[in-house]
Structure 1
Amino acid sequence: MTLPRPPPAGNGNPPWHALPVGDALACHGVDANNGLTQEEAAARLERDGPNRLSVQPGRSALQRFLNQLTEPLVLVLIGSGVVTAGLGEWIDSSVIFGVVIVNAVIGFLQEGKAEAALAALARAVATEVTVLRDGRRRRMDAVHLVPGDVVWLSAGDKVPADLRLISGKQLRTVEAALTGEAAPTDKHFDPLPADTLLADRRNMAYAGTTVVAGQGQGLVIGTADATETGRISGLIAGAPEIATPLTKKMAEFAGLLLWVILGLAALTFVIGVWRGESMAAMMVAAVALAVGAIPEGLPAAMSITLAIGVSRMAKRRAIIRHLPAVESLGSTTVICSDKTGTLTENAMTVTEIWAGGEAFGVSGQGYKPEGELRLRGEIAVPPAPTLGDAVSGSAGDMALGTALRETLLAGALCNDAALYHEHRQWQITGDPTEAALLVVARKGGLDETTLHNVFPRRDELPFDSARQTMATLHAIEGRSMVYAKGAIEKLLPACRNMLAADGSEAPLDTAALEASAALMATRGLRVLALARRQLAAGDELTEAAISAGMVLVGLVGMIDPPRVRAVGAVRTCHAAGIRVKMITGDHAETARAIAGQIGIVKAGDAATVLTGRDLARLDDEALKAAARNVDVFARVEPEQKLRLVRALQAQGEVVAMTGDGVNDAPALKQADIGIAMGMGGTDVAKEAAAMVLTDDNFATIEAAVEEGRGIYDNLVKFITWTLPTNFGEGLVILAAIVAGVTLPITPLQILWINMTTAVLLGLPLAFEPAERGIMHRPPRPPGAPVLDAVLIERVVLVGILMLAGAFGMFLLAGERGQSMAEARTIAMNVFVAIEIVYLFNCRSLRLPVTAVAAFSNPWVWAGAGLQLVLQMAITYWAPLNNAFATAPIDLRAWGEISLIALVAMGIIELEKRWRGAAG
């Protein structure tokens, strides 16, 4: 049997939404009344595969572990261990390999970003579906769906595949996870222009979206990887792993350090051999220099510093899934934020009401029924849930209720949604627009449950996409009252009068109504009109009953409102030199209004908003200019979000991308740091992101940026502190070879210094609190090195001080006739003493020691104390003397060591002050 295979969109072939229903069915060779036969469906399943997204496996645990051993500096350590083993220095070799393994284990445990985004996408497809096969409806697992199947949809269903809708009644879906638009989408079945954007394809339903009202039939036109969700999964899989600013800079830093170390080691070997030393001895010296110059503790210190940052961020409601992302936020220059659920509540909320010729503002956000209705600064309706005359009075009293009360009543009665409190949260079922009407009614003191008991529904006309109106009929003491809600352009022509403020009927003021609706629309509000009509007892609710003779009771304007804390967060980001850009799938006017309210653009300005259709016309260079200059992008599709992020990155920007939907996932993965919403976000977004906000609040990003900047500062402090020791150790070895004297310090002693001080002295810097004014600095330039010229010069200065102190004391001990073990012990303690005092210098790289609160970081004092204890042990405890070739020294030597350390500290402070005065 030859199965029909419809031509793909493109290459002159129309996309599915542009085809009439009959043509779409013909392309698949299927009859809408009978569906596919079981035999044909089985053959197509064999051809196209199951309706399940492909999942690519991540790296194995072994691969991740071996990856820790391929860093350049680690390879030098491994080479040094091999050389020392070849020379018979088994203890030294064992210690070197021990350091390598410890670093690898730490890196292995801390790494491990799970590549589960595609698995989460697979879970987004419905598991059960009603399908038409052999002329009969049957329930089956959605994994068995094939192109050409006819499926049935009803309220509450998750769409199981991409569908070309072919018939139905009042079908509405919520597609926020795919398109970014919070409001439900009304569906129809007529063909659309070929260039219609994804979010506007009203004759399509897409896998993973949800049906909230009505019912319908759809032709399966794409399953598994061929769905829009599958296409997004391909974008995620194709997005490369982006190296964070920290990993990029540390890779450059390690590469430079590697060549310096190898150069010095080679120079040491050549000079020694030229002076007549044996090659074996010079190989030991070269290894000693390499081991001394390599900051062995840096990888572990970096991982632990970042891990401390992870813990700090978790307390501020930001969960880090990938360690280097901790620092990435501190480097961020641009935040690209989704609107729905990130900058906004992701809950339709009534914010304005026009009734009786008066405008009311509504406070409160989301589905929590707390807030007030205000008129010109005065409370118009008490927030307490009392029904007043609307329930306890007579039918006549009810008819004469205020226009505002009647507007709230109409919205609550002409409504199929439900609002309930569960698990400490207010939740809804049904249409979010209708739920917003229930919430505002409760803010006005009207409870829908009580209303339905007092005014029971007798009949209804469900919402119809053609008339764009819903109506319900209620019994009121022997009379019938119709309440209707719908689009103002549909409902207004059916009205003969309107309610005045006191509830009496007045002539319809069309101009005032249209002006109020237009004003609401400019603020990005979705406007609904509400009307009523009294019928005679026994009259039925018909289309004719609501097509004329209605009385307009009011207008409501609703929007997915901005989060209150997002306004301050955006302001702080701007003060920190970080641009915030909104990239959303919602409508342009809504995006512009929200951007103005939050402060992304100036409120009231005619800010430029580019839509997905605008972006599609831009080449790469024009897109770069648009990405740089425009701050609001609307009606944007997933690959366009991805393209915008890449355009910003191509200009050297460090990009953070926030989002919560399936449509955000590719851009989340492509960004330097992807930030997903933990409460309202999809699993897809969470798995593609490097960071998850547990409170779904954009303001948490501000706190995370502050933490990220502080963490980077602490890493630079650690590097500035640790490098002089390595530099000084290398200089001591080189100086000894040039001078033709015995090495003042052995490779094993060097490892002791590097590893103990890195843990006890270096790591406490990770606990340094953020310095004042950290959020008033501009972002670090993306191309800036880890250490600037000032800090490099300081590293050289401190390294020279260590060289002078340690080498000088070693030579002095020899002149006094002290043993080689004593001389080397003195030299080793000089290094540690200078490191201890330099640690306090490094608590601030710009300010003097006295400007830093002495006990703001008690870990510094604890680490210095423990380091002194260890130095006493290696100097005076026999087992350590034997293992490390050290020996006890006298008090005079300790006095000289202390004096050298204090002199070094004073010189460093003078250099700081000189820099400050020069700056």
Structure 2
Amino acid sequence: MASPDRTLHPPPRGDHHELPVHEVVLLLETDHERGLGLDEAALRLELEGPNALPPVDRRGPLVRFLVQFHHPLIYVLLAAAVATLLLGEVVDAGVILAVVLINAGIGFVQETRAEQALNALMAMVRTQATVVRDGVRRRITSEDLVPGDLVVLETGDRVPADLRFVTAHELQIDESALTGESVPVEKVPMALPAETALADRANMAYSGGLVTRGRGHGIVVATGADTEIGRIHRLVGEAEVLQTPLTRKIGRFSRVLTVIILGLAALAFALGTVRGEPVDEMLTAAVALAVGAIPEGLPAVVTITLAIGVARMARRRAIIRRLPAVETLGSTTVICTDKTGTLTANAMTVTTIVAGGRSHPVTGTGYASEGQVLDDDDPADLARHPALRECLVAGALCNDTHLTETAGRREVAGDPTEAALLVAAEKAGLDPDQLRRRLPRLDAVPFDSERRYMATLHRDESGRVVVYIKGAVERLLDMATHELDRDGTVTAIDTDAGHARADELAGRALRVLAFGRAEMPASTTALTEGLIDGRVTLLGLQAMFDPPRPEALTAVSACRDAGIEVKMITGDHAGTARAIAERFALGHGGVPTVVTGTDLAACPDEDLPELVAGTAVFARVSPEQKLRLVRSLQAAGHVVAMTGDGVNDAPALRRADIGVAMGEGGTEVAKEAADMVLTDDDFASIEAAVEEGRGVFDNLRKFITFILPTSIGQGLVILAAIALATTLPILPVQVLWVNMTTAVALGLVLAFEPPEADVMRRPPVPSSRPLLTRSLAGRIALVSALMLFGAFGLFEWALGQDEPVAVARTVAVNVFVVVQVAYLLNCRSLERPMWRVGLFSNRWVPAGLTAMLGLQLLFTYAPWMNDLFHSAPIHPAWWLGITGLGVVVFTVVEVEKWLRHPRHARRAAPTRPRRPPTPVDPGRRHDRRTRAR
């Protein structure tokens, strides 16, 4: 035992697997039978701290609210509000502040709790544990465990800390959430080589694992932050949450726009004061110019547009946890997908049964009983195939697992491999429960790693006693003296043929089990190993694997159509990963290049980009390596979406541009680290989300292209008035009226535009491409100039007709609004003509136009609006000139679109292409072919 004044000095974390048990015991100063003493455990708890992950600091709601004001355009608006207030314009200042507060409120409501992944990790390690102290078993909370404790594990227990096994009896642990291994791992206490990968350390158990079978004793070697989950906790906390392409583009756009606005306002102020104009009037003009040039509605409409995308995606079973992720998915260039539970069903499935010299394909996937055992493309008749029937009966009876129905879903109570055998029997028309009643079990020899088989003893109603056996192919071929022919005849075994069939199945990355039967004397009531020697008849083989989701095959193909590269990153074995990748036709020409975690560890940083670019599959990778791969792709300019469901995926999910977690089969850790959660675990939902994301990005570009000419045009009008030393055609409060009403009543309807027909035929938008291309910037400049000449010209004409200034300003305001109404129709498609889009394809357009017309009539003719916004009623004749300007702008923009994009005007909108055939599953031997719809 450690003395009170000493601190433990265990070997470096992760090295315990290479040490014999007695050395681990000595290093941790414990006892492998009696465990720690109570006093020693209390001392270590004080020295080492509780077995819990450290808490994280969080910013409070006040800070989150204040952050919403951290935006260049908001700074300008706040400064304009202060300046307006100092000039005595209380109403104008109030309107500006109200706009700012509305934008901040929307952002605050949408603020996400990005650190919840760490809380979920903490919840995973809070459990009860059985520990031996002073030779007595005790039940304690896992937080009280310390290094050196002797922990007892039994079926159904959650592993409470990192353990080095002392004993293991038929022990299997599901570690898929941590390692990505698709089946439970058998545990043994023997020492392993130092270079053994974490997923292959059979003498270790890691915090968060689930015991699916057997029992064992293990010494605690790491607790709290020192565990493997603790290491992932640190990786999640250290992983930088990158800005999305949209936030980066909006940030750059806002900074440039802020500099331009401040420059123009300063120029206007300086120009007027140099010419001797009153300072207060020039300050009012500068504020008007700044407020006019700022698209106040931009932050709110961006948020609302993203929120609409969230609602659309939710209807397509993709829940967005962070708003910018909506657009990010549309910009994705690479999807790094996990295998287990994402591309595959995470449910072992028997695909082929070899019995009586014939191969029988098995249809259906997962644990649902839908499917059939086939014989020449027809359902197999078990009465005509006794060997097939006996092979299935052996799989159902030599079995400790049960399937249960919960909320319409089948769940496995036991080993997934044994569950697959039960489902295969059901597909052939057998009822495992009925078989158990007809052939009750008398005794059993459990499976272990040395024996390599399991056997069960049964007696039927007639008194016949039989043993059913399942195990490794090599072991049963050695034990068997005969085999069952197709018609049920017992013949001499052909061992070479059995090995050849097994090798052919294993070559397709299938897990193969052999099944046998031994007839016993009627008096037999107990089973021993020696009792069945020389009596075994081989019944057949059952081959299984974790199958690809059929819908995922189609979705991966669709992603390729959209120019998105798909890479598999998994903790599973290289052979298994390669087989799944071939079924998805990943890699160049459908031939995947596979790189293992060992290869990655040996690859220097300077060679990593080339390796990553040419590789489709990364197998047996650790959480750090997943993170390294994501960073390498991002450094190469890719927008990376990372899918996953396990604890080991959390750091990469958080670091990726968009993390996508599985809602049904995923851990809470993965869901909290992700930006998006698929409620149906369907990879096809990613394709739907990509389509919606691209539509959202298009709609944001449409809105910005729509809203900027108003802001720029108003700023130019004010600048021209100052330069010409004439009366301002539009006041700051009128500017705000135009900006907010056109943004909400008109611009917001663009957020409801459906994705255009060719959206999934385009390549991803490069993250380096600005929001506004050169052609769109030219269009904005053109419309801004038309607004400048139209509004300023009609304003001066009204003054020349001896109209009051208030009337002339009202005319100018209406010019901006009517031109925006016409321009809205142009902006519904940035390339195609309006007549190809159709007026009623977006039902919100007529509603927006009607609302804008009503608001503008109130602005012009309602007395209380005249008082508030300094407007005045105008003669109906003025509407002819105003409407004429709107028609001119609409026509000019349509002609400009035709000149720049003539192909869209000459032919109908392209349709989505037919997808290539879904890759055929080579694990199936029948002639049926499946094609993606």
Q: Which TM-score bucket, shorter chain as reference?
A: over 0.9
Question: Are the equivalent residues in 1 in contact too, given 2:159–2:206 (CA < 8 A)?
Answer: yes
- Amino acid aligned to 2:839: A
Match of 1:333 in 2: 333
Q: Residues of 2 paired with 1:100 and 1:8: CA distance?
A: 58
Most deviating of 369-378 and 213-222: 369-378
- Amino acid aligned to 1:9: P
Shift of 1:720: 0.2
**1:639 maps to 2:642:** no
- Amino acid aligned to 1:835: Q
Match of 2:407 in 1: 423
Most deviating of 352-361 and 616-625: 616-625
- CA gap of 1:604–1:657, structure 2 versus 1, over 3 A, is closer
Superposition pairs for residues 99-114 of structure 1, below 5 Å? 99-114=99-114
How far does the alpha carbon of each residue in 1:313-338 deviate from its partner, in whole angstroms, 9 at most, with x for none?
Answer: 00000001000001110000000000
Q: Residues of 2 paired with 1:601 and 1:226: CA distance?
A: 38
- Amino acid aligned to 1:509: D
Q: Residues of 1 paired with 2:432 and 2:678: CA distance?
A: 34
- Amino acid aligned to 1:842: C
- Amino acid aligned to 1:455: L
How far does the alpha carbon of each residue in 1:563-602 deviate from its partner, in whole angstroms, 9 at most, with x for none?
Answer: 0100110000000000011101111111111111123247
- Amino acid aligned to 2:563: G
**1:883 maps to 2:895:** no
Shift of 1:116: 0.9
Q: Residues of 2 paired with 1:854 and 1:604: CA distance?
A: 44
**1:522 maps to 2:507:** yes
**1:460 maps to 2:460:** no
Shift of 1:420: 2.1
SS at match of 2:446: strand
- CA gap of 1:462–1:6, structure 2 versus 1, over 3 A, is farther
- Amino acid aligned to 2:581: A
Q: Residues of 2 paired with 1:547 and 1:661: CA distance?
A: 44
Match of 2:288 in 1: 288
How far does the alpha carbon of each residue in 1:3-60 deviate from its partner, in whole angstroms, 9 at most, with x for none?
Answer: 45133427xxx80100100000111111111110111101111111111112313321
Question: Are the equivalent residues in 1 in contact too, given 2:839–2:845 (CA < 8 A)?
Answer: no
**1:584 maps to 2:584:** no
SS at match of 2:102: helix
Superposition pairs for residues 99-138 of structure 1, below 5 Å? 99-138=99-138
Match of 2:15 in 1: 15
Match of 1:404 in 2: 388
Which of 557, 561, 565 is the aligned partner of 2:551? 565
Q: Residues of 1 paired with 2:121 and 2:618: CA distance?
A: 25
Q: Residues of 2 paired with 1:545 and 1:194: CA distance?
A: 40
How far does the alpha carbon of each residue in 1:509-543 deviate from its partner, in whole angstroms, 9 at most, with x for none?
Answer: 22222222222222221111111111222344212
Unaligned runs of 5+ in 1: 383-387, 390-400
Match of 2:909 in 1: none
Match of 2:922 in 1: none
How far does the alpha carbon of each residue in 1:38-89 deviate from its partner, in whole angstroms, 9 at most, with x for none?
Answer: 1110111111111111231332111111001110110011011111112222
SS at match of 1:733: helix
Match of 2:895 in 1: 910
Question: Are the equivalent residues in 2 in contact too, given 1:126–1:159 (CA < 8 A)?
Answer: no
Identity, % of aligned positions: 54
SS at match of 1:741: coil
Shift of 1:603: 8.8
Question: Are the equivalent residues in 2 in contact too, given 1:126–1:208 (CA < 8 A)?
Answer: no
Question: Are the equivalent residues in 2 in contact too, given 1:4–1:29 (CA < 8 A)?
Answer: no
Question: Are the equivalent residues in 2 in contact too, given 1:172–1:213 (CA < 8 A)?
Answer: yes
Match of 1:185 in 2: 185
Q: Residues of 2 paired with 1:714 and 1:58: CA distance?
A: 34
**1:496 maps to 2:481:** yes
Shift of 1:546: 4.3
Q: Residues of 2 paired with 1:162 and 1:817: CA distance?
A: 88
Shift of 1:773: 1.4
Match of 1:776 in 2: 761
Q: Residues of 2 paired with 1:691 and 1:917: CA distance?
A: 38
Q: Residues of 1 paired with 2:788 and 2:478: CA distance?
A: 92
- Amino acid aligned to 2:900: R
Most deviating of 810-819 and 491-500: 491-500
Q: Residues of 2 paired with 1:759 and 1:662: CA distance?
A: 43
Q: Residues of 1 paired with 2:680 and 2:571: CA distance?
A: 22
Q: Residues of 1 paired with 2:718 and 2:491: CA distance?
A: 99
Q: Residues of 2 paired with 1:737 and 1:914: CA distance?
A: 36
How far does the alpha carbon of each residue in 1:710-769 deviate from its partner, in whole angstroms, 9 at most, with x for none?
Answer: 000000000000000001011001111111101100000000000111110000000001
How far does the alpha carbon of each residue in 1:140-197 deviate from its partner, in whole angstroms, 9 at most, with x for none?
Answer: 1111111100010111111111000110211111111011111111110111111111
Question: Are the equivalent residues in 1 in contact too, given 2:519–2:535 (CA < 8 A)?
Answer: no
How far does the alpha carbon of each residue in 1:396-431 deviate from its partner, in whole angstroms, 9 at most, with x for none?
Answer: xxxxx7111111000001000001222111111001
Match of 1:598 in 2: 584
- Amino acid aligned to 1:423: A
Match of 2:681 in 1: 696
Q: Residues of 2 paired with 1:126 and 1:91: CA distance?
A: 57
Match of 2:52 in 1: 52
Match of 2:918 in 1: none
Superposition pairs for residues 612-623 of structure 1, below 5 Å? 612-623=597-608
Question: What RMSD in Å do the two structures reach over aligned CA positions?
Answer: 1.4
Q: Residues of 2 paired with 1:564 and 1:602: CA distance?
A: 21
Match of 1:630 in 2: 615
The runs of at least 4 aligned residues of structure 1 exceeding 3 Å deviation read 545-549, 601-605
Shift of 1:110: 1.6
- CA gap of 1:673–1:381, structure 2 versus 1, over 3 A, is farther
SS at match of 2:125: coil
Q: Residues of 2 paired with 1:840 and 1:164: CA distance?
A: 69
- Amino acid aligned to 1:834: V
Which of 713, 722, 725 is the aligned partner of 1:728? 713
Question: Are the equivalent residues in 2 in contact too, given 1:441–1:447 (CA < 8 A)?
Answer: yes
Match of 1:307 in 2: 307
Question: Are the equivalent residues in 1 in contact too, given 2:814–2:882 (CA < 8 A)?
Answer: yes
Q: Residues of 1 paired with 2:851 and 2:668: CA distance?
A: 46
**1:842 maps to 2:827:** yes
TM-score, normalised on structure 1?
0.96
Most deviating of 533-542 and 358-367: 533-542
Q: Residues of 2 paired with 1:557 and 1:587: CA distance?
A: 17
SS at match of 1:636: coil
Most deviating of 872-881 and 475-484: 475-484
Question: Are the equivalent residues in 2 in contact too, given 1:716–1:787 (CA < 8 A)?
Answer: yes
Unaligned runs of 5+ in 2: 905-933
**1:611 maps to 2:596:** yes
Match of 2:539 in 1: 553
Q: Residues of 2 paired with 1:136 and 1:3: CA distance?
A: 25
Q: Aligned residue pairs: how many?
A: 899
Most deviating of 71-80 and 529-538: 529-538
- Amino acid aligned to 1:435: A
How far does the alpha carbon of each residue in 1:772-809 deviate from its partner, in whole angstroms, 9 at most, with x for none?
Answer: 01101100011000010000000000000000100000
- Amino acid aligned to 2:734: Q
Question: Are the equivalent residues in 1 in contact too, given 2:17–2:164 (CA < 8 A)?
Answer: yes
Match of 2:915 in 1: none
TM-score, normalised on structure 2?
0.95
- Amino acid aligned to 1:793: G
Match of 1:61 in 2: 61
Q: Residues of 2 paired with 1:906 and 1:682: CA distance?
A: 56
- Amino acid aligned to 1:70: H
Question: Are the equivalent residues in 1 in contact too, given 2:373–2:380 (CA < 8 A)?
Answer: yes
SS at match of 2:515: strand
Q: Residues of 2 paired with 1:381 and 1:276: CA distance?
A: 103
Shift of 1:824: 0.2
Question: Are the equivalent residues in 2 in contact too, given 1:372–1:381 (CA < 8 A)?
Answer: no
